[in-house]
Structure 1
Amino acid sequence: MNADPAAEDRPAAPPAPASFAPVADRQRIVALDVVRGFALLGIFLMNIEWFNRPIATMGEGLPRDATGLDWLAGWFIAYFVAGKFWTIFSLLFGMGFAVMLVRAEQAGRPFVRVYLRRILALAVFGAAHFIFLWDGDILFSYAVGALGLLIVLWGRPRWILLGVAVLVGLGFIPGASDFFGVAAGLAIMGLLGLYLRGQGLLRWKGLDMPWFSVIVMGVGLALSVAAAVLWLLPDGPTEPRGPLSVFGPLLLVVGWLSWKYHQPESLRSLRMAVAIYIFGGLGMTLGGVLQFLTPDPLAVAEAAAAAAPAASAPAVAPSAAASSAQVAKKTPQQRVEEIRADRKKRDEERQRDKAEQVKTFSSGPYLDAVELRARHFPEKAAGDAGFAVVLVGMFLLGSWFVRSGVMQDTEKHLAFFRKLAWVALPAGIGMGLVAACIAVSHTPGDRHDGWNIAHGLLMLGNLPACLGYVGLVVTLLHSRGFLSRIRVLAPLGRMALTNYLMQSLICSLFFYGYGLGHWGMPRSQQVLFVAVVYAAQVAFSHWWLARFNYGPMEWLWRGFTYRQVPQMRIDKAAGPAAAQAV
């Protein structure tokens, strides 16, 4: 449900211009435009479902009432498309970041200030997109992730610590608990920056250990001890046992690996990028396994309540201290009622959210839809602080593709891309198909349907599948014959931001009640709808870029970023200006 808006993806052109000026069309990395245009198809196939179904049901997998072609279309997109294409766009975003940085370094120009304006513009686009068009936006998430990347690469420890302290303080304000999540996200960014840039070592008994490794292993040890204590306490809370039991040992392993493979420094960003993604997917998978193998906390509480002796009236009046202790300690039956009440509350909230979304988007007026999305935007913004950690990893991986020179000369590295297509793609899709054998649907609250195991495996497979799709597109681009015509997608990719927002505009007007009201279109028909609109976008992009240097939104974005008005119409005498140099 996402798109990387046309990143700056041209190689550095020596000598670098002294001021922001258009560069020649031949200097574009055509492969990136083609990959971006291809990815827009996957993005559209994935997003269109959530213009016809409440986003509140996103964690439920395939609809249980889907049959025939609708089930087949949903299954194919879930395991061959979903999760693979937002990762592609995240890679492209990281590549654009690296190209901008390289050019700024070569030209001796300031980078961070310009890039902050770029992030601000993207955040505004994303917020407006979320509130006024569709609540599946990812542009704002990219802006938060890009800000996190700047913190990782250049953030100063004292300011990061001060920011964390302020955010934690704000979290104690009634109704402002989301600040705790933002504080955690900022703290993780600071920790990643310590791994990437830290040079200090803890020297103890002949061991030289990086401070990042010390901190991570310390946290992992603390979580592991806490998990052990909770498992040993019969009356202790049961819900935290699983997460602590998974992430404690995982952090211990991460800390040890970061110590063992701390050098060379040149490989840290690549190792960290891959580790971030694997950590998330592995944590989800192992958590699902533990959840599947352990009893439901409600069943445990009910068994304890059934085994507890019936309470009898005391023969003598208890002392004040004993009475206070009795009140403080909950009985087994009270714990049962507490768990039931909490689950009932969460279920009612889910059902209420689903019903509100269906009513608002299927038949409600436009202002009601705007009000609903605006009400949910603060929650989305806070959640992006956690998602930004994954995005930072993807951005760094994309940056490596540029820094290593792989994307600068794709033909020279064609063997590498073929290997991605023939090895990484089958491996990634294969992991998803294994996940499909475990579970394709989920009932919220069901701990033993295997859904979290399947979802974790699917997430782990998305990264190699994403890289495999990139390799496949590059391989086709350099092939001879008909398949090389995939380059027809390049103009679509050059206008990715415009086309991404256009897809949302078209879908909102076609499916929502305040438009044509076709909410609930069957999944198989959605595929046909995507094919028609996508083909029209390819044609429109060719037509537009034959007359103009930029897509409309790209023009606006660049103008704000560079504080100049880019030349929109092509100068027929001088030829097209493909992009603004950075």
Structure 2
Amino acid sequence: MDRRGAHMTDTAAPITRSERITNLDTVRGIATLGILVMNAVSFGLPQPAYFNLDYAGSDTALDWIVGVLGEVFVDQKTMAMFSMLFGAGIVVFADRAAAKGRRANWLSLWRNTLLLGIGLVHAAFWFGDVLMLYAICSPVLLLLRTRSARTLFIIGGVCLALSALTMAAIQGEIEAGDLGDYWTDENVEQSEDVQFAFIADFGMRALGAMLIGVGLFRADIIQGRRPAEFYRRLAAWSLGIGVPLSILGVAIHLANDWNPDVALVGAVPNILATVPMAIGYIALITLWNQGDDTRLHERVRAVGRMALTNYLTQTIMGLTILGAMIGVGELGRAEIFVFILIVWVVQLAWSEPWLERFRFGPFEWLWRVATYRKLQPIRR
């Protein structure tokens, strides 16, 4: 361990705007906006409707169109992108701290312990928090951060395969009632077997995506440093694999009328599709980012630079407006999508002006102050 940074307050300075990797900000911004398409369903509908389109919120043909398109193209894919970016971000932070002679691993562990605390508070209000998972996975990333991209891809792929195998294996061991508030009844708890399957699924999937995100960073892919033709081929291959798998998962559920007997098996193709589709989206976003800069580019990047703040404020707005003011179950999926569009406009509108006046988003600033254990300047 490098002893030149013996005190946690003697740390790397906060990253300035000029040091940032633009493509990471762009991808992170779209991932942050995209994750709301998943999460808004859980803000506005009963918990089983998050996984089971037939449970609630699908009263019209338009609701079904929105729901099916969301399942195929968004569900878990934006989560995978978000996870990849968080994984890459953990390594960027550690690498820069190490380059300045700091105790990178200890500082990173402290930073992610704080993230765990943020996630615990977030989870107290909403069951879908992912920050705790990222914090729990972070020691593994720090342990493996110097490995080659190939090794990271292999380990990440194994994690995703274990996630899919767990879901498939547990299906034959359970009865419909065991699914409880996952699929069949919002007032019934899941069985221990189902809870174990979900913990394994979410944990392995998050860790796998984060490791692959680090691999993409090590391979100079996620930074947008490869030629445009590389990203075109990457998008074609990744989406060519992922989209049919995702369609297959939805088709299994539709063919069986969302029967609980195939609830977990039907999720397997989607689990396998998440990372290929997320990589395909990253490739497409990179191609867009490599083009001429526009005002929209800048606004999306600003959302990405304030990813933590925007992620948490999405929850605040969703629980307040959809949950408390309108009421859970009062809107269909198409109406919830209108709410999503409004939040997107708000976050695209406010993030850039905020960062023109301040160095960081509000929650990013608080996280930094706690990380370095001293007050950080926030005004520009």
Matched-pair contact (CA < 8 Å) for 1:411–1:478: no
Q: Does 1:434 align with 2:248?
A: yes
Give the whole-Å Cα distance in 2 for the aligned partners of 1:348 and 1:422. 39
1:481-540 superposed Cα distances (whole Å, 9 cap, x missing partner): 87x944430001111111111111111111224x45364211111111111111111111
- The structural deviation recorded for 1:108 is 2.3
Question: Which amino acid in 1 is paired with 2:119?
Answer: G
Give the whole-Å Cα distance in 1 for the aligned partners of 2:140 and 2:270. 26
Question: Which amino acid in 2 is paired with 1:457?
Answer: P
- The structural deviation recorded for 1:456 is 0.8
Q: Does 1:398 align with 2:210?
A: no
Q: Does 1:512 align with 2:323?
A: yes
Give the whole-Å Cα distance in 2 for the aligned partners of 1:550 and 1:481. 22
Matched-pair contact (CA < 8 Å) for 1:104–1:110: yes
Question: Which amino acid in 1 is paired with 2:268?
Answer: G
Matched-pair contact (CA < 8 Å) for 1:84–1:465: yes
Question: Which amino acid in 2 is paired with 1:73?
Answer: V
Taking a change above 3 Å as real, the CA distance of residues 287 and 47 of structure 1, as seen in their structure-2 partners, is same
Give the whole-Å Cα distance in 2 for the aligned partners of 1:274 and 1:350. 26
Give the whole-Å Cα distance in 2 for the aligned partners of 1:523 and 1:284. 26
1:541-564 superposed Cα distances (whole Å, 9 cap, x missing partner): 011111000000000011111212
Taking a change above 3 Å as real, the CA distance of residues 385 and 78 of structure 1, as seen in their structure-2 partners, is closer
Give the whole-Å Cα distance in 1 for the aligned partners of 2:300 and 2:151. 34
Equivalence for 1:488: 299
Taking a change above 3 Å as real, the CA distance of residues 562 and 465 of structure 1, as seen in their structure-2 partners, is same
Equivalence for 1:163: none
Give the whole-Å Cα distance in 2 for the aligned partners of 1:393 and 1:347. 25
Question: Which amino acid in 2 is paired with 1:505?
Answer: I
- Give the paired residue count: 364
Taking a change above 3 Å as real, the CA distance of residues 430 and 266 of structure 1, as seen in their structure-2 partners, is closer
Match runs of 1:533-552 below 5 Å: 533-552=343-362
Aligned with 1:274 (options 157, 160, 167): 157
Q: Equivalent residue of 2:239, what SS?
A: helix
Question: Which amino acid in 1 is paired with 2:219?
Answer: S
- The structural deviation recorded for 1:387 is 3.3
Matched-pair contact (CA < 8 Å) for 1:148–1:388: no
Identity of aligned residues (%): 30
The CA RMSD measured in Å over matched residues stands at: 3.3
Matched-pair contact (CA < 8 Å) for 2:232–2:284: yes
Question: Which amino acid in 2 is paired with 1:38?
Answer: I
Q: Structure 1 unaligned segments of length 5 or more: list them.
A: 1-17, 155-195, 198-264, 292-296, 298-341, 358-378, 571-582
Q: Does 1:465 align with 2:280?
A: no
Give the whole-Å Cα distance in 2 for the aligned partners of 1:347 and 1:431. 24
Equivalence for 1:424: 238
Taking a change above 3 Å as real, the CA distance of residues 385 and 552 of structure 1, as seen in their structure-2 partners, is farther
- The alignment's TM-score, normalised by the length of structure 1, stands at 0.57
Matched-pair contact (CA < 8 Å) for 1:144–1:384: no
Question: Which amino acid in 2 is paired with 1:472?
Answer: L
- The structural deviation recorded for 1:71 is 0.7
- The structural deviation recorded for 1:438 is 2.2
- Name the stretch that deviates more: 83-92 or 343-352: 343-352
- The structural deviation recorded for 1:92 is 0.6
Q: Equivalent residue of 1:354, what SS?
A: coil
Give the whole-Å Cα distance in 2 for the aligned partners of 1:351 and 1:266. 37
Matched-pair contact (CA < 8 Å) for 1:477–1:485: no
Equivalence for 2:3: none
Q: Equivalent residue of 2:186, what SS?
A: helix
Match runs of 1:161-240 below 5 Å: none
- The alignment's TM-score, normalised by the length of structure 2, stands at 0.84
Give the whole-Å Cα distance in 1 for the aligned partners of 2:213 and 2:232. 18
Q: Does 1:34 align with 2:31?
A: no
Aligned with 1:109 (options 95, 102, 121): 102
Give the whole-Å Cα distance in 2 for the aligned partners of 1:116 and 1:451. 37
Matched-pair contact (CA < 8 Å) for 1:36–1:92: yes
